[in-house]
Structures are given as structure tokens and as C-alpha cells.
A and B are shown apart, each in its own frame.
Chain A
Amino acid sequence: MTTELLPDPSMGIDDARARHDARADGFFRGLIGTAGIFVLLSLFGAAAAMLWGGREAFQTFGWHFFTSTDWDAVRHQFGALVPVVGTLITALIAMLIAVPVSFGIALFLTEVAPLWMRGSVATAVELLAGIPSIIYGMWGLFVFVPVMANTVNPWLTTHLGPLPFLGPLFRGPPLGIGMLTAGIVLAIMVIPFISSVMREVFLTVPSTLKESAYALGSTKWEVVWRIVLPYTRTAVIGGIFLGLGRALGETMAVTFVLGNAHKLTVSLLEPGNSIAATIANEFTEADSDIYLSSLVALGFLLFVVTFIVLAIAKLMLRQIERREGNV
């Protein structure tokens, strides 16, 4: 633009209009740019607000906060170890079940099922991924916990309890609630997520690659194991991490079935706790500043862990998006 800023009497109506448009464009850009920056800020704002809210706990307990199993509202002693371990164990159980099952579902829906079945089953799985987690929690509490208490837990205790190394994991009172139940409910919840990501990723494999393998006489399984999976490896891991992120941060599905017990046990059948469940159960009951601050500090921990997991997921999934863009 060479037009000067001062109004020029010889300026035609077009110039005025161009100037008006430029101003309006600048305003519009500024407005939506602000909204864009707001998205950035909301994530960092959330992190900062929780770090600030948890500062009292971090200051009071220091590194001890991460290693202590204390959780005593009366003596004002709080440590994050029990909920952190609980979160990790339930998420681990969930992933051990969900990953192979999701892989099977993705394989079935991309290679095995008859064509007419693929679309509808995939849609059904995706719809189920949208069911609120509180429904899973309620089902867990009213339907699944009795099954665990009456059938599964006693069976595990009698058959796996006497084993030398794994045994202690499966000894305990048949309450039904506990780490194992929470892990299974979480697995059921994340299966739709992981399997739909895997399915989409598998669909990106160029058919020329698969057909070449078939032409050399490969069986379907060999094509999946040696062509599809190596081709999509990073994205598959990304999908798994996405599910892990969900499992770590899930609140309602586990709060119902975990039992809210602040003690560290070897047994998976004993009640335990997780970060999200602790916050959900105790936040409104927190009667001292340090109690509240400890809960917010737990939230900050959860945030940091899920941020890392989701960032890894995102970076790994990005690779396949980029490749897809180039093909």
C-alpha cells in the first residue's frame, strides 16, 4: 500500500472502501487470532492454576509428597504415592486387556469381516465410545462388582492365589471392588477408542503394498503382521497412548468401583485409589487448606502425566497423517 494515512481530498470512493475493508480485515484477524491464542492460554492457564493451587502442598511436603503413603486428614499429612500407584496399576491392567482386544477388533473390521458388516460394526463401536463414563461406572458398581465378588475373585484366589510369584496379586477378600475390577471397567471403556484409531490407521495402508504381499502368496495374517503392522507401527503406538491417556485420567468409571482406600497393597483384589477418584471423592469434603491443596497438587500431577502421554500419542499419530498427505 502506498496510500498515506492522512485523508486525501482527491481520494476516490474506492480508496475509502479499500481502507475500510483493510481495517475490517485487520479487526477480524485480530478477533479470531485472540480466540486462537485463548486456546493456547487455556491449557497453560489450567496448568498454572493447578500448580498455584497445589503450591502449599508442594512447599509443605516437598519431594516427600511423591514418596509418602500418608493420607491423613486429621494429622494433615498427605502423600501422593498411593493414588499415583493406583492410577498406574489400573491403567496398566486396562491396557493389558484393551490393546490385544482392540488390535483384534481393528484386524477383524479391516481384513476379516464381510464388507457389509464392516461399516455398521465400526459405526456401532464409535457410537459406544461416546457413552458417558458415568454409565460404565454405574454398570461396574451394580452389575460387574457382584459378578467379581461372587465368581471371579474367589476363583482367582483359589486357582492363582497359591502360585509362588503372582499369587499375592490375587489374594484378598472377595469384595468385588478393587484395582482389578477398575482396570477391567477401564479396559471396556477404552477398547472403542483404541480400536477405532487402529482401524482408521490400518485403512491408510496402500493397497498396492498389501496386494504385492498377497501376490507373493502371503496369508491374510502374514499381510497384517508383516506389512500392515510395520507400516503403521508408530501410529498404532500413538493410538495406544491415546487410550492410555484416557485410562489415566478417567474419573467416573473408576470412582465407583475402586473403593477409595488409601493403602498400598500388593493384592489387586483389595480396594485402592487413583488420582482422579481421590479428587472426585474427597474434594468437597476437604476441610483444611492443606488437604485441598494436596488434592489440587494431585490434579497437577495427573495433568502433567496425561500431557506427556497425550503429547507422545499426538507426535506418533502425526507421522501417519503426514505420510497420508504425501501419498
Chain B
Amino acid sequence: MTSYAEKLYLRRAAMNFAALAMSGVATAFGLFWLVWILWTTFSNGVSAMKLSLFTEMTPPPGSDGGLLNAFVGSLMMSGLALAIGTPIGIAAGTFLAEYAKRSVLGETIRFVNDILLSAPSIVMGLFVYALVVKTTGHFSGYAGALALAFIVLPVVVRTTDEMLQLVPNQMREAALALGVPQWKVTLQVLYRSALPGILTGFLLAFARISGETAPLLFTALNNQYWASDMSKPMASVPVVIFQYAMSPYDSWHALAWAGAFIVTLFVLALSILSRAVLRRAKTL
């Protein structure tokens, strides 16, 4: 081998080694921050855990209390948001997969839906503010739920569309050949087959809205007291975390960490569950 070829070879090998080593470093770097963040949340959250979190209301400045009204508010608003967003999302996803297909209308809706999926959530809050809060004249739990519903919608549309497209065409053809009308094919054959996938979308949407803060800031606002009336301002865990973390009181900081810890656990559990459901769906 000439010395030139040898040099070239060595240079290429060195370049290769350096690049691959850097990729390992980048992965370690990326994971380092994420592990640090999780660790901070867990250690601060665990030390702030106590039973009164679930039995007491959010406290006035500087004193001790729990997060009960925030948990209830979050669950009620998320529940309503899912109740509004999921059926509309499933219907729209079905329209895309079964009727619109690759037509211009279908592709346009898909495009718009994908943009909604990544659009800043604060924008949805402003939208619902203009739509509901401004017209009714006051903040309310309903407005918060509606803002969350607009975040649920694109997630469910996307997964329903994708999952229905995975259903083998033979199923549609077999059912249609028996003379079953298309709406019945959809409801009784396709949904049954795509159910785990659609459930995944539901769980992902639930995980997504559990930690959403921005759209609630000026729709549901906040409420320091017990409130199960959704036509009034309502507390939610993320907004309480935001408010308490920005405050100067240590007891509020502890509550914020406890809330953050529970929300993180909840979101991780939902994501893992949705993955498990999806994996089972794909092996079936």
C-alpha cells in the first residue's frame, strides 16, 4: 500500500470513529437532561407526598393544604373534553379513512388535522376564550373542557384514520358482499377490528391533556375553593402547579412538586398503557 492510500484509510477510519463516538456522546447528552428532569421531579415529588394532598383543598398563601379541588377539576374537565373530542374525532377519522380517502378534501382535512396536532396549545386557549369566555362574560370549567377538547380532537382523528387504514380490505369486501350496508360495516366490523388502535388514540389524548396548562389559563382560570359547578371558574392541577411554582412560598412549592410528580406519573402510565394496547393490537 502506498503511504497516500494508507493515510487516506487512516483518515477515514478516524473520521468514522469520531463521528460514531460523537453520536454516543449526543445520546448520553440528550438522555442526561431528561434523566435529570425526571429525577428532580421524582425526588421533590416523593418528599412532598402526603395523604392530605387528596383530602384537602388548595391552601391560601403560605399555609398548608392539599390539591383535592385541583384533582377533581382536572378530572372533570378532562372527562368532558374526552367526551366531546373523542366521538367527533372518531367520526372525522372514519370519514377520512372510509369515505374521503385520498381525495382532495380528505388530504386537506388530514393536512389541517396534522397542523392542529402540533399547533401551540395556547392558541386553542385564545380561540376558546374568544368563542366562549368573551361571549358568556365569565371564565368557566366548560370553557376549559372545550379548549382541551380541541387538543383531544386531532389526536383521535389521526389515530382513528391510521388504524382504520390498517384494517384489511377483505373484511370490508366480505361484509359488503353479504349485503351489509356500509354504515353497519363500519360500526360492526371495522370498529371492532380497529378498536384497540382507537383506544390508543383515546389514551394518548388523555395523556396529552393531563398536563396541558396553557389552554386552561384563560378559559377555566383557577379556583381556590371546592367547585364542582363547571359553569364557574375551576381549578386544575397544571394551573395550580404553575401558580404555586411561581409563588414565593415554600409550602406552595412543595405542593407544586407533588402535583408535578403525580401528573408526570399519570402521563407516563397512560403512555405506557397506550403502547401496550397498540402492541397487542398489532400482533392480533
Contacts and interface: CB of A to CB of B under 8 A. Distances in A.
A206 interface: no
B45 to A, nearest CB: 10
A258 B163 CA distance: 41
B52 interface: no
A326 to B, nearest CB: 14
Interface of A: 21-22, 24-25, 27-29, 31-40, 42-43, 45-46, 49-50, 52-53, 100-105, 107-109, 111-113, 121, 123-125, 127-128, 130-139, 141-143, 188, 191-192, 195, 219-222, 224-225, 242, 245-246, 248-252, 255-256, 276, 279-280, 283-284, 296, 299, 302-303, 306-307, 310-311, 313-314
Contact of A40 (B99, B109, B218): B109
A219 B13 contact: yes
Contacts of A32: 91-92, 94-95, 98-99
A135 B268 CA distance: 13
A170 B257 CA distance: 32
Interface string B86-106: 001101101110111000011
**A-B interface, 7 closest residue pairs, ranked by CB to CB distance from nearest:** A132-B211, A104-B26, A249-B120, A35-B91, A28-B183, A219-B16, A36-B95
B26 A108 contact: yes
Nearest to A52: B130
B123 A249 contact: yes
B140 interface: no
Contacts of B223: none
Interface string B10-26: 00110110011011111
B245 A249 contact: no
B115 A136 contact: no
A142 to B, nearest CB: 7
Contacts of B150: 42, 46
Interface in B27-44: 27, 29-31, 33-34, 36-38, 40-41, 44
Contacts of B228: none
Given A52-B130, A221-B15, A39 B122 contact: no
B32 to A, nearest CB: 10
B221 interface: yes
B251 interface: no
A256 B109 contact: no
Interface string B146-160: 000010011001000
Nearest to B268: A127
Contact of B208 (A25, A111, A130): A130
A42 B153 contact: yes
Contacts of A250: 120
Nearest to B34: A128
Contacts of A314: 111, 114-115
Given A28-B186, A108-B23, A39 B153 contact: yes
A142 B250 CA distance: 12
A138 B243 CA distance: 11
A39 B112 contact: yes
B256 interface: yes
Contact of B23 (A21, A50, A105, A255): A105
Nearest to A246: B118
Among the interface residues B25, B88, B119, B182, which one has the most CB atoms of the partner chain A within 10 A?
B119
Given A104-B24, A112-B23, A137-B245, 14 more contacts: A32-B91, A32-B92, A45-B131, A46-B123, A127-B271, A131-B211, A131-B267, A134-B241, A135-B211, A142-B253, A220-B20, A276-B120, A283-B217, A306-B118
